[in-house]
Every structure is written in C-alpha cells, then in structure tokens.
Amino acid sequence: MGASRDGHFPAGYHHVREQKVIGYGAEAFDAVAVHLCSWGMHRDAGLDVRADSPTAVPGASVELGWGIGRLRLRFSCRVVYVVDEPHRRGFAYGTLPGHPERGEESFVVEQKADGRVVATIAAFSNPGRWFTRLGGPAGRVVQRVMTRRYLEALEGATR
C-alpha cells in the first residue's frame, strides 16, 4: 500500500480528491496538523476512534465506528505512511479486511508560501463488503459526505 503518496491512483477504483483552504498562518497550520495526526478530525466528524497509537504513525491500526447500537458500523484501517515536512503534514491509511470499502485514503494539510493552510483529502476505493456492493451509488454519497465533514472538522481546528 501507499499508492496515494504520489497522487497517481490505480486504475479500476473510484477516485476522490477534495481540497479546501481552512485557515491562514503558522499557528493555524500547527494546530490543524496536530489535530489531524492525533485523530481529532475523525472524532470531530462524528466517528468513534479506537487506535493503538495516540498519533498516526506508520503501521498504527485504527478502528472507526459510526452509527448507533446494533446499527453501528466498524471500519478498520492501518496507517501506511506519514507526511512530516516543515510545511506539510498528514498521513494515509489503507483499509483492512471487513472494512466496507477496499482502498486507501490520505489526509494532508499544507501551509502555502502565501500563508494559506490547505487541506487535501484523496482516496481510491471499491466496495469491500456485500452491502457496499449492493448499495452502489449510495456508498459514493456517504464518502462525499464524510470527506466534507472531515474538511469542516479540520477548518474548525484552525479557529
């Protein structure tokens, strides 16, 4: 895994890439980078997070939960790489068996030369379970909604 690192996603998968300016300046960049890499974005987007590391590090496993009671879905992923550069931070994880999708998703924040802080979320995926195959386009809608919730959560961390 780690195919999302260069931005050239493999053929045969659904591709998603969304970017948003979420703040301005070094303080905003530092705050959002810490929030992102400590699973805060996922929590703020409404997911239950159980990770074997307090921060995203290569090889760390994370189980995300969404829903209520018996309708709660669990999504297991493993961090495949981390971005730790002076003005660019983030990570990517790949799905593990049992996840509703099969693929990889990256979350990166970057402070541009003009001070803008930009968040980029990119993913490639295919249905990984019977219900996501059966649900067809509904899975893509859920993915778009979650991507936007992630971006809003990152924007909130810059305030």
- What pLDDT score does 145 carry? 85
* Amino acid letter, residue 157: A
Structural domains of the chain, with CATH: 14-157 (3.30.530.20)
Write down the pTM of the prediction.
Answer: 0.91
Report mean pLDDT in 10-residue bins for the chain, 159 residues.
73 86 97 97 94 97 85 87 97 88 92 98 78 68 86 92
Longest dimension (CA), the chain: 48
- What pLDDT score does 98 carry? 79
Across all residues in the chain, what is the average pLDDT? 88
- What pLDDT score does 72 carry? 75
**What is d(CA 118, CA 21) in angstroms, rounded to the nearest whole number?**
4
**What is d(CA 92, CA 84) in angstroms, rounded to the nearest whole number?**
12
Question: Which residue from 53, 73, 78, 70 is spatially nearest to 2, judged by alpha carbons?
Answer: 78
